[in-house]
Amino acid sequence: MENTEEPSPNNWKWQLKHSITTLPALEKILELTPEEKEAINPALPLRITPYYLDVITKLNNNHPLRRCVIPSSLELEETPDEYADPLDEEAHSPVKGIVYKYPDRVLFLVTNFCSNNCRYCTRSRIIEKEGNAFGGEDWLAGIEYIQEHTEIRDVLISGGDPLTLNDNKLKYLLTQLRKIEHVEIIRIGTKVPVVMPQRITPKLVEMLRQFHPLFMSIHFTHPDEITPECAKACTMLADAGIVLKSQTVLLKNINDDIDIMLTLMRKLLTIRVSPYYIYQMDKIKGGAHFTVPIEKGVSIIKGISGWSSGYAVPQFIIDTRIGKIPINPSYMKRQKNGKTILQNYRGETVEYVV
């Protein structure tokens, strides 16, 4: 039957079609700062969904989340330790779209398009770049590679954002991966439930539930992103049995604060998203203005621990050219003569004997 649904702001395709992609269009909605006006032809194209821009403007025109999506002239300032490919993904890519760094799992890049372009994106080198799209032939090559490598039991579908694909394309990918006997787990990396929750439709959810065990890593930045619409989208996914995990990039003057992170992690649990990772921001070109000292990340994890249940405590991760490395607080202070001195979240110590 032909779809007669009228395009509207509640339709995800309407959201994509009406995305803000130019500074003149943005200026009709927001008063831009001098740094934002000077951000002409940024390396990463401007793209914001009307929904997400509305969230920001309703909160406060100067809400820190605007720095996540509006280009700034600060992006033109590069330091020697920044890279176009900070995680060295291309060196670990045996075929286009496959990144193979770990013994039993691969990253499968299936699109170079996102509904919202985050200014700190680790893959800004490929997002909306001509020649870096992923088409049917690339998918076939990636699927064939996974088929041939029986040690691969876990596939993370990412991009870009896989949930910007239509239902049929996404179903095709999931179907092909589920046909591979040694693939036990499929994961999807996305920010769509946060920036375009209209995409999470009953039809999509019903399709996804056919491919369990299915996991979803959702990119959250700030507790103010958890709107009723976002909460509804996550509830629909969780009701379908999809395991939801959060990933949060630590960003200077946006979420590098214990209270903000603690609030975010607690709110995530209320919408059945399990806090998973807080990431040190990757060393992308022009990203220094977002970077937070490593010690701050450790202190945030320490500030969350004990003040909320263990379910709310993520790992602090530095993703490097050789893979992810956890950097978390140490609560074991010293050992001597079979005695261990331990410290709790309040700084109190206790002697433990084995």
Per-residue pLDDT of the chain (354 residues; tens, 9 = 90+): 345 455 799 999 999 999 999 999 999 999 999 989 888 778 899 999 999 999 999 998 789 999 999 999 999 999 999 999 999 999 999 999 999 999 999 999 999 999 999 999 999 999 999 878 898 899 999 999 999 999 999 999 999 999 999 999 999 999 999 999 999 999 999 999 999 999 999 999 999 999 999 999 999 999 999 999 999 999 999 999 999 999 999 999 999 999 999 999 999 999 999 999 999 999 999 999 999 999 999 999 999 998 889 999 999 999 999 999 999 888 777 777 778 888 888 888 888 877
Q: How many domains is the chain built from? A: 1
Separation CA 195–CA 186 (nearest Å)? 22
Residues 259 and 281 sit within 8 Å (Cβ to Cβ): no
**Rg, the chain, Cα only:** 21
32 inside domain? no
pLDDT for res 1: 39
Cis peptide before 213 (omega within 30 of 0): yes
Express each pLDDT in 154-188 by its tens digit: 999 999 999 999 999 999 999 999 999 999 999 99
User: Residue 328 carries which DSSP code?
Assistant: -
Give, for 302, the enclosing helix (H) or strand (E): helix 294-304
Q: How far apart are the C-alpha atoms of 67 and 32, rounded to whole Å?
A: 11
pLDDT of residue 6: 57
What CATH number corresponds to the domain at position 196?
Answer: 3.20.20.70
What per-residue string of b and e applies to 7-33 under the rule 16 or more CB within 10 Å gives b? eeeeebebbbeebbeebeebeeebebe
Please report whether residue 342 resides in a domain. Answer: no
pLDDT, residue 5, reads 55
Both tokens assigned to 209: 């539930």
In a domain, 27, yes or no: no
Can you state the percent helix, strand and coil of the chain, rounding each to 5?
35, 20, 45
Residue type, 126: I
Which alpha helices (DSSP H) does 200-257 contain, by range? Answer: 202-208, 228-239
33 domain residue, yes or no: no
**Phi (first) and psi of residue 250, to 5 degrees:** -75, 125
Asked whether residue 202 is assigned to any structural domain, the reply reads yes
- Let me know if residue 5 belongs to a domain: no
Provide the 3-class DSSP secondary structure of residue 276: strand
In-domain check, residue 305:
yes
200 within some domain: yes
Structural domain of 155: 73-332
Q: Is 0.85 surpassed by the pTM of this model?
A: yes
Q: What are phi and psi of 227, to 5 degrees?
A: -90, 170
Half-sphere exposure (Cβ direction) of 277: Cα atoms closer than 13 Å: 17
Contact 193, 226 (CB under 8 A): no
